[in-house]
Chain A
Amino acid sequence: MSEFQLALLIGLIITALISARLPRARLWLACGAASFVLSTAYARYGLPHAPAFTLACDAALCLTVYFYGKERWEISGIYRIFQLSVLISLFRLSNIIVDQWIYIVALEILNWAALLLISGTSILDRARAHEVHSDWNWSPHLHRSNISLRKARAQDPFHKVRH
């Protein structure tokens, strides 16, 4: 395990601890970790078309979030991040990203962005819960869009719309 993967693992554990009360946060963390481990192992064994495999893993994760996500932080955050991940793998496949290191660094940045989004949403949620039970008003210090991350998603997934 490289130092980057170790740092990511520590980040994952910290995020899982922070987001204990955030619904489905641990599910997406587990799914993201599974996708990361599978695609890394596939590439490490030197199997062919590794970016295509990474793309398929991230696309499957993307669709899982789309179908089972219920709140805005999932659809406007996690779903978009994994869409970007799919796009980067697509660029690597079509040789728009030529350098392997740029590809790996871009995916790493997106993994960290997903962790920060989940932990940030969880911290904001706790701040809001604290506001309810105390006199101190947090809301003026937080941007409205950050507070609305816990609202229901704007549009249902297509399999729930029958007309």
Chain B
Amino acid sequence: MTEWFGAKIIGIIAGSFLALVFLPPRSIPGFVRRTLAALVFGWVFGPVIHDYFQWPITDERVIASGAISAFCSWWLMGSGKKVAESLGLKDTKEQ
């Protein structure tokens, strides 16, 4: 899906932007980590989500799948951090 490069990037940015609105991180390092994770997850799992829902390959659907995967990765990073803190694996709440 290299021909959908632009749509994928727009989707990932849109998903990260939405996630920032709904789930803001606690610090700058947390923001950087979540953004990088959203870029990687959005790129890798965007097509997986697209295939899972069996959407037709259009600009809107590629953007939507990229946004969903980026948003989910952002949310998972925050949830993983909270779980690690609750288990005592991390004692600082920096993210």
Contacts and interface: CB of A to CB of B under 8 A. Distances in A.
Contacts of A59: 17-18, 21
B18 A158 contact: no
Contact of B20 (A63, A90, A162): A63
A86 B23 CA distance: 13
B94 interface: yes
B31 A62 contact: no
A83 B20 CA distance: 11
Interface residues of B, number: 16
Main secondary structure of the interface of A (DSSP, over half): helix
B92 interface: yes
Interface of B: 17-18, 20-22, 24-31, 64, 92, 94
Sorting the interface of chain A by its residue count into under 10, 10 to 19, 20 to 34 or 35 or more gives: 10 to 19
Contact of A83 (B17, B22, B26): B22
B26 A155 contact: yes
A87 B23 CA distance: 13
A16 B20 CA distance: 29
Contact of A66 (B24, B27, B29, B92): B24
